[in-house]
C-alpha cells in the first residue's frame, strides 16, 4: 500500500508542478517539485528492498527526469522573462532578473541529468531484452514512454520543435499500444491527458513562439483533467494492488537480483 501511495503522490506532484509552471506560479511550482522529489526518493528507497535491477533503474530514471525538469523550470522562473504576450497578474518577470550566463549553466545541468537518465534507461532496456524472457520484455515495453518523455524534454530544451513533437507521437503510441491490457483505463487516460497538455504547451512555445496565452490555458485544462483522473484511479483501484500504479510498473514478475 505504501508503494502505491508514493507513486500516486509523486505523479500528482508532477502534475501540480507542470500546472504551476505553465501559469508561471513559482511558489506552487517549487512546492510540487519538492514533493515529487521527496516522494520519488522515498519510493526508490522502498523499491530497493523488493524490486529487481530493471525496476530500480526505471525509478532512478524518473528521479533524474524530475531533477532535470525542475532545474530547467527554476532557470526559467528565476532568470528568463516570458514572451510579452504571456502575461499573468501574479508574475511580473524573472524573479532575479535576466542573467543569461546563469540561465545557460542551469540548462546545461538539466541536460546532464537527462543524459544520465537516458543512458541508464537505454542500458536497462538493452540488458533486459537480452534476457529473452517474455514477461520482462513486456514490462520494459510498458516503460518505454518514460525514456521518450525524457528525450522529448531534451529536444524541447534545445528548441528542436519537430524532434520534440515526434517524441510526443511515440509516447502516445507507447501509452496506447505497449502498456499491458491489465492497466486501468483511467490511469492510461490520466497519462494521455498529461501528455496532451505538455504537447499543447510545446506547440505554443516552440511553434507559435508564445504568441498567445491560449495554448497555456488549454494545457492547464488537460493537466487539470489528468490530476482528477489520477485521483479517480487511486480511489477506484485501491482494492486491486496490481492496477493502482500510476507510474511504470515497479513490482515485476521477473526478479534478477538487486543492483
| β-bridge mates for residue 91, sequence order | 88
Amino acid 4: pLDDT: 64
Domain extent listing, the chain:
2-243
Q: Give the Å distances, CA to CA, from 19 to 14, 79, 190.
A: 9, 19, 14
Q: What is the pLDDT of residue 174?
A: 92
**Mean pLDDT of the region 55-59:** 86
Q: Compute the average pLDDT of residues 105-115.
A: 96
Q: What is the pLDDT, as a whole number, of residue 257?
A: 38
Average pLDDT over the chain, rounded to whole?
Answer: 86
pTM, entire model: 0.87
Q: What is the DSSP string of 197-245?
A: HHHHHHIIIIISTT--SHHHHHHHHHHHHHHHHHHHHHHHSTT-GGG--
User: Per residue in 201-259, pLDDT tens?
Assistant: 999 999 999 999 999 999 999 999 999 999 987 787 665 545 444 444 443 433 433 33
**Spatial separation of the C-alpha atoms in residues 240 and 161, rounded to whole Å:** 40
Q: In angstroms, rounded to a whole number, what is the distance separating the alpha carbons of residues 248 and 22?
A: 25
Is 68 a residue whose pLDDT tops 60? yes
Reading the block at residue 31, the C-alpha cell is 512546492
Report the distance separating Cα 99 and Cα 125, nearest Å. 39
pLDDT digit string, tens, across residues 125-145: 998 888 877 777 888 888 899
Mean pLDDT of 189-199: 96
**Gap between the Cα atoms of 217 and 203, Å rounded:** 13
Amino acid at each position: 500500500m505504501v508503494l502505491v501511495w508514493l507513486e500516486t503522490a509523486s505523479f500528482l506532484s508532477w502534475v501540480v508542478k507542470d500546472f504551476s509552471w505553465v501559469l508561471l506560479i513559482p511558489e506552487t511550482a517549487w512546492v510540487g517539485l519538492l514533493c515529487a522529489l521527496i516522494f520519488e526518493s522515498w519510493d526508490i528507497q522502498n523499491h530497493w528492498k523488493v524490486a529487481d535491477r530493471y525496476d530500480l533503474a526505471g525509478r532512478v530514471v524518473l528521479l533524474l527526469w524530475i531533477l532535470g525538469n525542475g532545474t530547467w523550470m527554476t532557470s526559467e522562473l528565476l532568470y528568463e522573462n516570458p514572451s510579452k504576450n504571456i502575461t499573468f497578474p501574479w508574475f511580473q518577470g524573472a524573479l532575479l532578473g535576466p542573467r543569461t550566463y546563469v540561465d545557460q549553466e542551469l540548462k546545461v545541468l538539466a541536460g546532464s541529468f537527462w543524459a544520465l537518465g537516458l543512458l541508464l534507461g537505454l542500458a536497462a532496456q538493452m540488458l533486459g531484452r537480452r534476457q529473452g524472457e517474455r514477461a520482462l520484455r513486456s514490462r520494459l515495453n510498458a516503460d518505454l514512454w518514460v525514456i521518450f518523455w525524457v528525450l522529448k524534454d531534451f529536444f524541447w530544451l534545445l528548441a528542436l520543435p519537430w524532434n520534440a513533437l515526434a517524441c510526443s507521437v511515440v509516447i502516445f503510441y507507447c501509452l496506447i499500444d505497449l502498456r499491458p491490457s491489465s492497466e486501468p483505463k483511467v490511469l492510461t487516460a490520466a497519462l494521455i491527458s498529461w501528455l496532451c497538455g505538455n504537447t499543447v504547451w510545446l506547440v505554443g512555445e516552440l511553434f507559435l513562439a508564445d504568441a498567445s496565452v491560449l495554448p497555456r490555458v488549454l494545457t492547464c485544462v488537460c493537466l487539470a483533467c489528468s490530476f482528477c483522473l489520477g485521483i479517480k484511479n487511486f480511489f477506484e483501484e485501491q482494492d486491486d494492488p496490481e492496477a493502482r500504479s500510476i507510474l511504470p510498473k515497479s513490482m515485476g514478475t521477473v526478479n534478477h537480483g538487486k543492483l
